[in-house]
Amino acid sequence: MLRLKNINTCYGKVQALKNISLHLAEGEIVTLIGANGAGKTTILNTISGVTPAAAGEVVFSKQQVASFPPDQIVKLGISQVPEGRQVFKPLSVEDNLELGAYLRYRSREGKSAIHADLERMYTLFPRLKERRKQLAGTMSGGEQQMLAIGRALMAKPKLLLLDEPSMGLAPLVVQEIFRVLNQLRSESGVTILLVEQNAKAALKLADRGYVLETGKVILEGSANELMENAEVKRAYLGKDKKEIWER
Amino acid sequence: MNRELLKFLAFSAMVLAAPLYFKGGYLMNVLVFVGIYTMLAIGLNLLLGYAGQISLGHAGFFGMGAYLSGVLTATYAWNPWLAMPLAAAVVGVVAFLIGLPILKLKGHYLAMATLGLGIIIYIVFNETIDLTGGPSGLSGIPYLELGGITFDSDVKSYYLVWSFALLVILFAVNLANSRVGRALRAVHDSEVAARVMGVNARLLKVQIFTLSAVICSLAGSLYAHTMTFIAPASFGFNFSVELLTMVVIGGLGSVYGSFLGAALLTLLPEFLRAAQDYDIIIYGALLMLMVMFMPGGLVRGIPDFFKMVIKGRRGAGNA
């Protein structure tokens, strides 16, 4: 469904991604793990067109999309949940969700379809329904994260790009978010590319994963393989691996 | 949306009834200006209050509308009703073409670029003497006429200008509550997040800049035809700043706030005449106090003030 081939992305003169190649099949959940500055967010931003690649190919549903602007990408069915949630704080919860469907208002499906999806989000996240008229900026971090996910889903994406949904949230809230992602997969079969610091939770949810270091893919494999990999254990899972640590 | 309609109807009734109360007189003339400035402030507010993009050059678009209408009708004897939409279209095209490069700038840099734009337009008015009459102005602009009525008295001008102003208000309120209004506020809050939601932020900013300029141009045409004389001094940098003050004092992101701001800044100097030489000092002090104690502008400050007074009274009654 999505394939990146030899992607190179730069911020000014700094090269953030070096020959990144990866792929996602339909219905898969794939996770990118790696330390800060490894290039995880940059990969998502390259796919969504926010920071276009300097070289390389992005192929989505057999279409070359590397040079597409973000609104075209959304139209094709890729929706991003940006890092740090980035909900529109001065807007109400409902306005935020409706903004997620921005491009759909012009399509032929009509307002009733959008309305039905709004209700679907409220069943998925009952908290949002309670707070539909509240300003997004006044909600807790976890609620904002749910809103950010709901907002992205309102675009009816085929592929969801999730950037660190667990960032800065309490463990119980993180559990809740991952529970919803699991539910999403079983119910709607949406494909997810998940960037996470919380490697353990991510690998538990995902089918496959890529490990990044300083802009390169250093490992790839099924989630189980990665979870058992000694290097991944040492660097990203940490806990209970004292014997490796102190070798 | 129904509440918005009620608000609009109540406001329209107030506007239409005002002349009965003032019975002609000098204040009617001032209220004509309030109408023109309300249009201008709303135009700028769509850009600044909703989309979060500053402009220090909007007096230039106001002036372009006025001069295009003025020159076409006074010098070339065009029909004013033909000149007005043409002026708006020309200003719209100019704003779009200029907006494309300069709206890539943000914050202070955008302020500088629009400031420069306003100054350039002002210089053109001053220097193209053959066309505009230069610093001494352009006179002989005809009044507007419609179905045998010539809008030459204050009361007639009042109804003319306020019909346009009400249309602009209705349009702006609708826009603000639409999907586009939502997108504008989203761009204001976080451009990147808006873009990944599928909002073409760059184009949307240019479009709202253009729309804002067109509204200012219409106000300019009306200004030219009600004043029948225009001079560059009305369209300089000072006036851009005054417009900005109206929007901020009235309330960013509020259509009726723009009316309050325009009304206050136009009426206040008239009332302060009584203070003679001290009027400017009092005017400045009042503006400072309002910005300090009503950071949300008049539109949010006035209700808050009354709530405070009522609460205070109740508190005193209980004690």
What angle is formed at CA A110 by the lines to CA A106 and CA A111, rounded to 5 degrees? 105
Statement to judge: residues A163 and A236 lie in one domain = yes
Give pLDDT, residue B319: 44
The answer to whether the CB atoms of A82 and B196 lie below 8 A apart is yes
CA distance B299 to B258: 9
Q: What residue numbers bound the domain in which A217 lies?
A: 2-77+157-245
- With respect to residue B217, please indicate whether it lies within any of the assigned structural domains: yes
Would you say the ipTM is above 0.90? no
Instruction: Identify all chain B residues contacting A48, using CB atoms and an 8 Å cutoff.
Output: 196
**Helix residue ranges per DSSP H, A93-163:** 93-100, 111-124, 126-130, 141-153
The answer to whether the CB atoms of B192 and A155 lie below 8 A apart is no
Statement to judge: residues A55 and A165 lie in one domain = yes
Residues B151, B226 contacting (CB under 8 angstroms): yes
- With respect to residue A17, please indicate whether it lies within any of the assigned structural domains: yes
- With respect to residue B311, please indicate whether it lies within any of the assigned structural domains: no
Instruction: Identify all chain A residues contacting B183, using CB atoms and an 8 Å cutoff.
Output: 99, 102
Q: What is the pLDDT of residues A189-205, one digit of tens each?
A: 899 999 998 888 899 99
Q: Does A88 touch chain B (CB under 8 A)?
A: yes
Position B317 pLDDT exceeds 80 = no
Shortest distance, CA A9 to any CA of chain B (angstroms): 18
Q: Is B245 exposed, middle or buried (0-12, 13-18, 19+ CB in 10 A)?
A: middle
- With respect to residue B299, please indicate whether it lies within any of the assigned structural domains: no
The answer to whether the CB atoms of B193 and A88 lie below 8 A apart is yes
Statement to judge: residues A240 and A164 lie in one domain = yes
Give pLDDT, residue B122: 96
Residues A149, A163 contacting (CB under 8 angstroms): no
- With respect to residue B243, please indicate whether it lies within any of the assigned structural domains: no
Domain boundary among A100, A125, A156: A156
Q: For the whole model, what pTM was predicted?
A: 0.89
Q: Is B144 exposed, middle or buried (0-12, 13-18, 19+ CB in 10 A)?
A: buried
- With respect to residue A82, please indicate whether it lies within any of the assigned structural domains: no
At residue A8, the 3 state secondary structure works out as strand
Domain count, chain A: 2
Report CA Rg, chain B. 20
Q: What is the pLDDT of residues B159-197, one digit of tens each?
A: 999 999 999 999 999 999 999 999 999 999 999 899 999
Q: Does B184 touch chain A (CB under 8 A)?
A: no
Taking only the tens of pLDDT, chain A with its 247 residues reads: 999 999 999 998 899 999 999 999 999 999 999 888 889 999 999 999 999 999 999 999 999 999 899 999 999 999 999 988 899 999 999 999 999 999 988 887 878 899 999 999 999 999 999 999 999 999 999 999 999 999 999 999 999 999 999 988 998 999 999 999 999 888 888 999 999 988 888 999 999 999 999 999 999 999 999 988 888 887 777 655 555 555 4
The answer to whether the CB atoms of B185 and A155 lie below 8 A apart is no
Statement to judge: residues A12 and A37 lie in one domain = yes
Domain count, chain B: 1
- Percent share of chain B, pLDDT over 90: 74
| DSSP 8-state assignment for residue B174 | H
- With respect to residue B204, please indicate whether it lies within any of the assigned structural domains: yes
Give pLDDT, residue B216: 98
- With respect to residue A164, please indicate whether it lies within any of the assigned structural domains: yes
Statement to judge: residues A92 and A54 lie in one domain = no
- With respect to residue A83, please indicate whether it lies within any of the assigned structural domains: no
Give pLDDT, residue A241: 53
Q: What is the pLDDT of residues A112-160, one digit of tens each?
A: 899 999 999 999 999 999 999 999 999 999 999 999 999 999 999 999 9
Statement to judge: residues A96 and A151 lie in one domain = yes
Give pLDDT, residue B292: 87
Q: Which of B197, B202, B254 to mutate to test the interface with A (most CBs of A within 10 A)?
A: B197
- With respect to residue A8, please indicate whether it lies within any of the assigned structural domains: yes
Instruction: Identify all chain A residues contacting B193, using CB atoms and an 8 Å cutoff.
Output: 82, 86-88
- With respect to residue B305, please indicate whether it lies within any of the assigned structural domains: no
The answer to whether the CB atoms of B190 and A88 lie below 8 A apart is yes
Confidence of residue B222 (pLDDT cuts 50, 70, 90): very high
- With respect to residue B246, please indicate whether it lies within any of the assigned structural domains: no
CATH of the domain at A36: 3.40.50.300
Q: A79-114 burial string, b = 16+ CB within 10 Å, else e?
A: bbbbbbbbbbeebbbbbbbbbbbbbbbeeeeeeeeb
- Identity of the residue numbered A239: K
The answer to whether the CB atoms of A86 and B192 lie below 8 A apart is yes
Statement to judge: residues A201 and A226 lie in one domain = yes
The answer to whether the CB atoms of B185 and A90 lie below 8 A apart is yes
Statement to judge: residues A127 and A199 lie in one domain = no
Shortest distance, CA B98 to any CA of chain A (angstroms): 22
**Helix residue ranges per DSSP H, chain B:** 2-22, 26-45, 58-70, 80-102, 107-127, 129-132, 154-176, 179-189, 191-196, 201-227, 237-250, 255-272, 279-293, 298-318
Q: What residue numbers bound the domain in which B162 lies?
A: 2-236
Statement to judge: residues A183 and A149 lie in one domain = no
- With respect to residue B135, please indicate whether it lies within any of the assigned structural domains: yes
